[in-house]
A and B are shown apart, each in its own frame.
Chain A
């Protein structure tokens, strides 16, 4: 418990710093909000235009499909707020040797590397994705226990997406220029924005098991819509655990390979 409290206090300091920094550049702050809104609207708009010509795609009608999109937007909103900035900083730190200073700090380096930066402007948009989720959820007539499941399932989707991305980021230790890895991460996010049944057999297997980004939204949403369908969630939990083990392994190997450019 004291350990958790200690890390909560460290995180509070990081949040305070990020808020102070974000408020120093007000125009950038506002532009970030506009950018996120445009992104969310373009995601929903694309699907909405498709359903003007179709009644159903696979097992889902317009409401179910847009509910899935809203779920993914909620996951990505939290991801963009609390996690995504850190990956860009990690690549920069390895290249410039700034990682040295993080390794010297009296706290778990993995925690500092992946949770030190957040984007307060995006946090302000929180009502939008949850409002969407509520709107499309109510159109599907969700029951009270299905509503209760939504927040933990969004967090679970976020945890899987973040775990997979952290594992992929370990490759930055071996690549001198890692901007491309961050672009690869963003491509994987794009893949996860469509339900798994859209993809062909091999793509479903590869992105559902080897790089399990398709489970981020598809497994939780299927579970909400049909609580008997637990297989996706079990895979999600199992593969997330595996990714943590692999991250721990590659983190240690990566640190050994790290050349520390500044020293």
Chain B
């Protein structure tokens, strides 16, 4: 039993280490691909909100002072670092060209392999998020509260898990579709808008904001941000439960899609 566990641990750890090396082999590319978009997204939000408050001379907007809006956007950036993954980006090509055949021969399942790759990526992202957070804290843009940090990081980890599963299921749809990146972009576009990453949900029309609570989107950015800020008034357990429920749903869907897909898989190029 202990031997089996040790062997499993070695497989996971080896995959994590290989992925770290792969991700950091081209450092500038990693910077532009992973860190750049989140930083630019924050830069634009910062400029837009600073411009709005400056040009219009408003003190508060739907209860947000400029300092609070800035803190909101900082936490959106941190949640972006912690939760948004890039796994599944190459899955379609690997399936279409038959490259997953080699993965199927590994003494390590395909899903655990993807999961270990995801964990490697998240490890790097956690480091980037921590350094960024310390920098913005030193500038006085956010206040750090230990309990809120613990709750926020936990919730963001759940969001990361959801995104991993969602990206995985979209990626393996390549068993049937020529390209899957379109679906991924659609989901990201929808979630960026409806999750409150662009503008806080308080600025949405009331009916739409209420309707959104039936969907996973607010739980992907708005709620983790509010938890980090220490201003979340809802039930934290409910937020965790809803996120885990959606993750389990997507996980179940992934299992069904994988089983059907692998049944249809012809292994092009073999």
Contacts and interface: CB of A to CB of B under 8 A. Distances in A.
B209 to A, nearest CB: 10
A197 B178 contact: no
Q: How large is the interface on A (under 10, 10 to 19, 20 to 34, 35 or more residues)?
A: 35 or more
Contacts, number: 105
B178 A187 contact: no
B37 interface: yes
Interface of A: 25, 27-28, 31-32, 34-35, 38-39, 42, 45-46, 49-50, 52-54, 56-58, 175-181, 183-184, 186-187, 190-191, 194, 197-200, 203
B148 interface: no
Contacts of A187: 36-37, 40-41
A194 B56 contact: no
Contact of B26 (A39, A57, A176): A176
Nearest to B33: A180
Interface of B: 25-26, 28-33, 36-37, 40-41, 43-44, 47-48, 50-52, 55-56, 58, 61-62, 177-179, 182-183, 185-186, 189-190, 192-193, 198-199, 203-205
* 4 closest A-B pairs by CB: A180-B32, A198-B51, A187-B40, A180-B29
Contacts of B37: 183, 186-187
A38 B184 CA distance: 12
A197 B185 CA distance: 29
Given A31-B182, A38-B186, A42-B193, A57 B55 contact: yes
B182 A180 contact: no
Contacts of B199: 46, 49-50
B189 A177 contact: no
A90 to B, nearest CB: 15
A56 B56 contact: yes
A200 B28 contact: no
B203 A180 contact: no
Given A45-B193, A187-B36, A197-B51, 20 more contacts: A28-B177, A35-B182, A38-B190, A39-B189, A50-B199, A52-B203, A53-B203, A54-B61, A57-B55, A177-B25, A179-B33, A180-B29, A180-B32, A183-B32, A184-B32, A187-B41, A191-B40, A191-B44, A194-B44, A194-B48
A50 B47 contact: no
B133 to A, nearest CB: 21
A57 B44 contact: no
Given A178-B29, A190-B40, A198 B62 contact: no
A175 B29 contact: yes
A180 B178 CA distance: 23
A35 B203 contact: no
Contacts of B204: 49
Given A45-B193, A46-B193, A191-B44, A53 B61 contact: yes
A187 B33 CA distance: 10
Nearest to A60: B55
A42 B192 contact: yes
Contacts of B51: 57-58, 197-200
B183 to A, nearest CB: 7
Given A25-B178, A32-B182, A57-B52, A203 B36 contact: no
Nearest to B176: A27
B30 A180 contact: yes
A180 B260 CA distance: 34
A186 B32 CA distance: 11
Contacts of B186: 31, 34-35, 38
A38 B189 contact: yes
A59 to B, nearest CB: 9
B143 to A, nearest CB: 24
Contacts of B40: 187, 190-191
Nearest to A54: B56
